[in-house]
């Protein structure tokens, strides 16, 4: 599945580059996200950072954008400690994420976008020191959708992403990534 996804992304980018080279734009983006692992009892969203580069192309009211991002995901959760109390802990999952979205521009400055993403886990930081990188699936796959606003070369985006891969399995419960991201970008 990874090979098919990576081949599809590569072909999409190459096709876009070859057919619209004069309309191809690159840029940088940075933002904040709130993420959570679904199915963790008592879990709440935690803030994280995302940053990276993008490549986009637009032809009339439609376009395509591919991002290459560092994205900090994870959850805050409660863990039992001595005397029956619970203590809040943070689980950080650092990914390299590549979303590829199709964009529709109903008006020139506004876009609605959606598409798949592929993520590769590069680091795990668990405050409880119980979980490590070997306890998680290295690849994540899911879908993202959102809204974007662009003035000149400045871009603002809000996206929601939901994973469909069980990134950690315990007792048959599925743990999927989800995140709400707010980004600012600049076309170079």
Q: Is the dihedral of CA 124, 35, 141, 144 positive or negative?
A: negative
Average pLDDT over residues 28-53: 90
Structure tokens at 66: 């591919």
d(CA 172, CA 79): 20
Q: Is the pTM of this model over 0.95?
A: no
Residues 112, 104 contacting (CB under 8 angstroms):
yes
> From CA 76, how far away is CA 89, in angstroms rounded?
6
Least confident of 34-43, 63-72, 104-113: 34-43
What is the H or E stretch that residue 64 is in? strand 62-80
**Of 87, 167, 83, 86, nearest in space to 127 by CA:** 87
> In order of start, what are the domains of the chain with their CATH numbers?
2-187 (2.40.160.20)
pLDDT digits (tens, 9 = 90+) for 138-164: 999 999 999 999 999 999 999 999 999
How much is the mean pLDDT over the chain? Answer: 86
């Amino acid at each position: 599945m990874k090979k098919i996804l990576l081949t599809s992304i590569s072909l999409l980018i190459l096709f876009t580059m070859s057919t619209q080279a004069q309309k191809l734009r690159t840029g940088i983006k940075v933002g904040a996200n709130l993420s959570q692992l679904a199915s963790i009892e008592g879990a709440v969203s935690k803030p994280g950072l995302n940053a990276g580069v993008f490549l986009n192309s637009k032809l009339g009211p439609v376009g395509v954008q591919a991002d290459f991002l560092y994205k900090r995901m994870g959850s805050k959760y409660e863990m039992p400690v001595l005397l029956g109390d619970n203590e809040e802990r943070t689980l950080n999952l650092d990914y390299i994420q590549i979303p590829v979205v199709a964009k529709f521009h109903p008006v020139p400055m506004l876009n609605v976008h959606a598409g798949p993403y592929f993520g590769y886990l590069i680091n795990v930081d668990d405050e409880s020191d119980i979980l490590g990188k070997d306890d998680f699936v290295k690849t994540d796959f899911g879908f993202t959708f959102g809204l974007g606003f662009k003035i000149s070369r400045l871009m603002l985006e809000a996206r929601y992403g939901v994973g469909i891969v069980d990134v950690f399995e315990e007792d048959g419960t599925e743990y999927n990534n989800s995140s709400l991201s707010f980004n600012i970008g600049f076309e170079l």
